[in-house]
Amino acid sequence: MTEKDLILETIDFVKTSLQHAEGGHDWFHIHRVFKNAQLIARDEQANDLVVQLGALLHDIADSKFHNGNESVGPRMAREFLESKKADPAVIEHVVKIIENVSFKGGNTNQQFHSIELDIVQDADRLDALGAIGIARTFNYGGFKGRALYDPEIEPKLDMTKEEYKASTAPTINHFYEKLLLLKDRMITETGRRIAADRHRFMENYLKQFYAEWNGEA
**pLDDT digits 0-9 by tens, 177-190:** 999 999 999 999 99
3-state secondary structure of 116: helix
Mark the ranges of the chain whose per-residue pLDDT is less than 70: 63, 65-69, 104-110, 217
Q: Which of 129, 122, 133 is nearest to 197 (CA)?
A: 129
**pLDDT digits 0-9 by tens, 53-77:** 999 999 997 767 666 667 888 999 9
How far is Cα 10 from Cα 35, in angstroms, rounded to an integer?
15
Residues ≥6 apart with Cβ < 8 Å to 28: none
pLDDT at residue 217 in the model? 64
Q: Which class for 152: exposed (0-12), middle (13-18), buried (19 or more C-beta within 10 A)? A: exposed
**pLDDT digits 0-9 by tens, 146-162:** 999 999 999 988 878 77
